[in-house]
Amino acid sequence: MAERIELEDLVGLPENDGVAIDDAGSRIAFGSDRSGRMQLYVQSLAEGDRAVQVGDGMLPAILMVPLVWSRDGAQIVFTRDRDGDEQHNLFMVEVATGAVRQLTDAPGQDYPGPFSPDGQELAIASSRKGQMNVYVVRLDTLGVRQLTDLPNPTEPAGWSADGRFIYLTGSASDNPRNQDIYQVSCHSGELTRLFSSADGSEDRAICTSRDGRWLALASDHSGWVQPGVVDLASGQVRQLGDGAVDERPVDFSPDGRRLLTVQNAGTSTRLVEIDLVSGRRRLLDAPVGLTWPVGYGAGGEVVMQHSDTTHRLRVAALAGAELRVLIDAEYGRLAGRQFVSGHTVSIPSGGLTIQGILYKPERPAGRRLPAVVWVHGGPTGNDIEMFDEFVQIICNRGFAVLQVNYRGSTGYGRQFKDLNLGDIGGGDAADVAAGARYLGQDPDIDPSCILCAGGSYGGYMTYRQLTHFPELWAGGLAIVGITDWQRLYEDSMENYRSYLKLLFGGTPQEFPERYREASPIHEAHRLRAPLIMAQGENDPRCPLNQAESFRERLLELGKEEGPDFVYHRLGAQGHWSAEIGQKMQLFRLLDDFLARFAD
């Protein structure tokens, strides 16, 4: 067996988050907990430069919202909420002095968008009046004016070169799946639709080029998310994808001649550069695993984050075939350790082939490995071959791990992503169950000790598995999960309700049986295996009452707290936290859970 990893040695390692590059392409900003709490840092791209901390104690425990640089690079906009409740207000810090100024103070959520060309205004998305719409904040007076009033969530992407228009993603359609690209006049509020491939397609505005000529877009009309550009002078739209995999635009080169995109090909990513004059596409020489682009540097290099299954996330600049590390991952006392590697596998499930990532530590002589199916959130997320602290701790404790990209996951085209719409907890749950059966057929794995665990939608799926397929599972760990979809709808903000209507095809009033059938609370009587539930007190996405009501139902059924289930309140935090102390309590819960099943 591998030497035991102490939780503090892995979970306590510094993490870097929210990397953003300035307009000049000369500096990056990011959050890091290297000091023990999340702080803001700025670092030049020049070789040998080191990060400099800006201010003290400004950032929230987790950067769920990207940092935004001002046009001149003198300020950075960030969000702050109250203990993870995601009721974000906007703040702006002076990079040179660390002085902080609050920009908004309103109920709901404010998300920063791009600055105007003159740097005097900031486009934002705000739910202050209910649904998420586009507003503009005047930086000198802090006056806020509303520009759109669409019935579905709306998000700004860029400004016209003269500052007269903002380009955005929104929808006036009754189809919850539909998204279109608009421009809105910053003076009159007049809204004009620029591009819509078809009702029911997702057409998203992404960003504008620095010279204001191009607007990058992503559209799934072909069946795969594909990049394109709008020539803002002529209105002409050009599609630029290869039609083979999901591919999204990220940034324009400083001279506006190239478009950087990222391909999500199942369990891996690739970077592509497209010449906007010739249309030629070039696959960049980036390392395998997760390669997530941040944007272009001033010299044309691509700033990116990279990780694989055995190496933690680092920040690097790619120029040709040369990869220069800007912020290396730290390993502390684990330096030199060989982590367990994962590889992609194919899983049969109901006529489909589902991809997963399988991790298998060394098997002790004469014994089979217990296993955990670790389920990702979303559901429109996906597992990629990248370093995962949860996976490595589980493997170190002697368990195999399988991550399953169930139907509804991204990276496999529109048809696959839409397979669970109107069927939440149906085919996607069958795929996760197929993952357990796949493990049960592996001669290295003990079929009598397969566990289910995950967070958010993965937490929901854990509840669903243990109540809908109780014969498959020896236990479960549900982190910030969902047990009652109708109650979640009733408790949610308007923009979250829009997403639930997409998942279920409508409201609980329109489809009561869909909401009920998908809700584990109505199958709680079928629970056989021990279950651990963990929930944050301020979580607005999966509220505390989701776990508490399930606990109450189990008690009504005569289940005993302790042997049958454990309910753990994670304290004053939201959907997730990067604060080391809060992370540690979750990992200790995981450790205790695994110890129940270890030999």
Does the pLDDT value for residue 359 go beyond 90? yes
Does the pLDDT value for residue 538 go beyond 90? no
Does the pLDDT value for residue 478 go beyond 80? yes
Does the pLDDT value for residue 577 go beyond 80? no
Exposed (0-12), middle (13-18) or buried (19+): which is 299, by Cβ within 10 Å? exposed
Instruction: Specify whether the CB–CB gap between 408 and 379 falls below 8 A.
Output: yes
> What is the percentage of the chain residues whose pLDDT exceeds 90?
85
Domain 214-332 fold: Neuraminidase (2.120.10)
Domain extent listing, the chain? 12-102, 214-332, 342-595
Residue 129: count of CB within 10 angstroms of its CB: 14
Helix axis angle for 457-468 and 427-440, nearest 10°, is 70
CATH number of 342-595: 3.40.50.1820
Q: Which of 162-171, 368-377, 562-571 has the lowest mean pLDDT?
A: 562-571
The more confident residue out of 366 and 510 is: 510
Instruction: Specify whether the CB–CB gap between 281 and 272 falls below 8 A.
Output: yes
Residue 407 is classified by DSSP as: T
> What distance in Å separates the CA atoms of residue 552 and residue 569, rounded to the nearest whole number?
14
Q: What is the pTM of this model?
A: 0.94
Instruction: Specify whether the CB–CB gap between 65 and 88 falls below 8 A.
Output: yes
- In tens, the pLDDT along 484-507 reads 999 999 999 998 999 999 999 999
Residue 363 is classified by DSSP as: P
> What distance in Å separates the CA atoms of residue 191 and residue 149, rounded to the nearest whole number?
10
The average pLDDT across 23-48 equals 92
Q: How many residues does the chain have?
A: 599
Does the pLDDT value for residue 540 go beyond 90? no
Does the pLDDT value for residue 572 go beyond 80? no
Give the model's confidence band at 573: pLDDT under 50 very low, under 70 low, under 90 confident, else very high. confident
Nearest to 216 by CA among 289, 283, 336, 296: 296
pLDDT attached to residue 303: 96
pLDDT attached to residue 64: 81
Tokens standing for residue 541: 């996405």
Does the pLDDT value for residue 375 go beyond 90? yes
> What is the percentage of the chain residues whose pLDDT exceeds 70?
100
pLDDT attached to residue 576: 77
The average pLDDT across 343-360 equals 96
- In tens, the pLDDT along 206-255 reads 999 999 999 999 999 999 999 999 999 999 999 999 888 999 999 999 99
Does the pLDDT value for residue 1 go beyond 70? no
Does the pLDDT value for residue 575 go beyond 70? yes
Nearest to 166 by CA among 153, 151, 147: 147
Give the model's confidence band at 581: pLDDT under 50 very low, under 70 low, under 90 confident, else very high. confident
pLDDT attached to residue 43: 97
The average pLDDT across 273-279 equals 94
Nearest to 326 by CA among 19, 550, 73, 83: 19
Q: Return all residues near 269 (Cβ < 8 A) that are at least 6 apart.
A: 262, 263, 289, 290, 291, 292, 384
Q: Which of 63-67, 162-166, 379-383, 560-564 has the lowest mean pLDDT?
A: 63-67
The average pLDDT across 280-309 equals 93
- In tens, the pLDDT along 411-452 reads 999 999 999 999 999 999 999 999 999 999 999 999 999 999
- In tens, the pLDDT along 10-25 reads 999 999 889 999 999 9
Nearest to 328 by CA among 340, 312, 304: 312
Tokens standing for residue 250: 């990220």
Does the pLDDT value for residue 47 go beyond 90? no
